[in-house]
Every structure is written in structure tokens, then in C-alpha cells.
Amino acid sequence: MKDLSNFDVNAASNPKNNLFGLPFSEEEARLIILPVPWEVTVSYGSGTSRAAEHIFNASMQVDIFDNDLNNGWKQGFFMRRSDRKILMKSDYLRKEAELYIDYISKGDLVANNNFMSKSLKEINEGSRFLNNWVYEQTLELLNRGKLVAVLGGDHSVPLGYFRAVAEKHGDFGMLQVDAHCDLRRSYEGFLYSHGSIMYNALEEIPQIKTLVQVGVRDYCQEEWDYICNSNYRVITYFDRDIKERQYEGQGWKQIADEIIGHLPEKVYISFDIDGLDPKLCRNTGTPVPGGFETEQIFYLVSQIIKSGRKLIGFDLVEVGIGQTDWDANVAARILWKFCNLMVANNR
């Protein structure tokens, strides 16, 4: 274990150190955060591809004392630098996608336009490349015995990590915190759209035995039909239903325990920040009224761990960038809590 005798936990964070001002190298750290600067298929607001840098800067304002989790940070957290080649590829394909989305929004047929057909092919090929890159990066870390978190980017980015988790851990369940179901098939013609991440995960990764969605409040007929025909492989707790149960007197503990009861022994958490109340994520790409407070989610995850289940991975995605960096500030604190929960659960 790293010698921390000269590290002052009460001092201001040193920006020359890594995430949260912690003095760990990648080799020394127990948990590695992989930033994925990608937002090619976003359909409304943008900016998530550059979220990791802002979250890193905001993390310097997070007090690292956590009396709930027995100083789990001492096992070490480390965030890699964003890969500039991935970011440049995202920027290039994003411009292609913007032109393509504008074209199809007017009802024009892609098959009638050679340029748009070529753009769609390039975007889908780029997404396949990204999925494989994330898979290779995360699997290599898992094989080195590291705990891993993925930091987006849009919600399409963790699919490769899901594959790596399945290969490493076998069968597992997933808790998805999200305002959306993300169960559309090939949304807007993009095979690996942010709006299709859970559809692709369920179709391509049989080791995902159960998907439990919480906080959903914006979905389409196709997604409703998928849930209804999933034979309970997908269990969705809609935001409206959760709130109605609370209005009628049920506590969050009772609802949380019911949610957890659907999850198997091994659990992966996919956290789209738009699952929160929009006041906490004002610049996320597709905000929807309603949603959770951060403490509700922290409680839910803490109860998952107390239940004896194993947290095997997580991602945090769809963090937007605004003029005040408020979203990055919230995201940094979510990342801090989840990192601590994960190492505490994997001692």
C-alpha cells in the first residue's frame, strides 16, 4: 500500500496530483477511471465529450474525508487522460452526424443521397471502433486486477465495458439510473446510438440476466413494447410510479429494497446523470423534469452493498458542460461517492 504519511488530507488539493488531488499512479491505484470522450450520436444537447476534464478540475474541490466508508480512497483512485485521438474522431463524426440528423429531420430518404449514406456508414463504423476500443482498454485493466469505472461521454460509450465485465465476471445484473429507457433499436439510423445502449446490451450480451431501470420518465412505444415482451428481463421503475407510491405513504427504503430484490449477486451500475432532477444536471443532453436527488441514489447503492451483492463496475455518463461547471461539480461528487462505495465493496 502507498505510504500516505506525508499526504495532508486536510490541505487544499494539489492539481499536480491526480483525480481529487490524490497522489496515486495508475500502478498504485485500486480503481481506474477510463474517460471516453465521445458524443457522436447525441440527438439534442452536446458537450459531454469534454466532460472528463471539467470533472477532473471540479474534483479538486471535493473533501476526501468520508466517515461512512472507512477511507476507501486510501486504496487509490486514478483517472487516465482522455485519449486525444478518440476525441478528434468524435469531433469529426459529430459534424457528420449533425448534418445527417438535420437531413433526416426533414423527412428526406437517406438512400436517395450518396453523401448521407456514406456519412451514416462512417458513423456506424466509428461506433463499432469505439466499442472495441473501450472493450480492449477495460478488459486489460480488469485482467490486471483493477476495479474499473467508465466516465463519458454520451450513454453509448460503456457498451464495450459491458462486454469486458461479462467476459470477466459471467452472469450479472444491471441497475440503470436514467430518465430514458435507451431501448430503441437503431435510433435515427445509428446502430450504436446513446438511445440504444440498453437494447444493444441486452441483444449482444446474454450474461446480462436482469436490467432494472429506475427514474425513467421519457420513453416511446417501441421501448414500452420491449419491456412488456422481455419476460421480466427488463424491470422498469418509472419516476411517476415511484413518486405516486411515496405520495401515498411508502418510504424510499421500502421501494429501494424492492428494487434491489430484482438484482442478482453481481451488479453493474449504469448512471446517466439525467436520471437526477435537472436542477443538478442543467446542461445534460436530454433533460427531463422529475428525477432523483443524489442522496436517494447513494442510499440505493449503499443498500445494494449492505444486501451482500457485489458491485462489479459502473459508468457515469451524459454530464454536460455549462458556463459555471455546476454539472461537473455534481458529477465529481457522484464519482467520489461511487468510487468509495466500489472499493469498500471489493476489499
Q: Where are the domains of the chain?
A: 26-345
- Sign, CA dihedral 157-160-161-165, equals positive
CA 131/CA 149 separation, integer angstroms: 15
- Those residues of the chain that have pLDDT short of 70 are 45
Q: What is the pTM of this model?
A: 0.96
Element (DSSP H or E) covering residue 149: strand 147-152
The whole-number pLDDT of residue 264 equals 98
Residue 157 identity (one-letter amino acid): V
The whole-number pLDDT of residue 45 equals 66
**213 and 237 Cβ atoms separated by less than 8 Å:** yes
**209 and 201 Cβ atoms separated by less than 8 Å:** no
Q: What would the grid cell of residue 16 be?
A: 499536480
Closest CA to 345 of 276, 270, 275, 265: 265
The whole-number pLDDT of residue 324 equals 87
The whole-number pLDDT of residue 105 equals 85
Q: Which CATH class is domain 26-345?
A: alpha beta
Q: Where are the alpha helices (DSSP H) in the chain?
A: 51-59, 84-105, 114-143, 159-169, 197-204, 221-228, 239-247, 252-261, 294-306, 326-345
- Sign, CA dihedral 294-300-305-306, equals positive
The whole-number pLDDT of residue 261 equals 98
**56 and 79 Cβ atoms separated by less than 8 Å:** yes
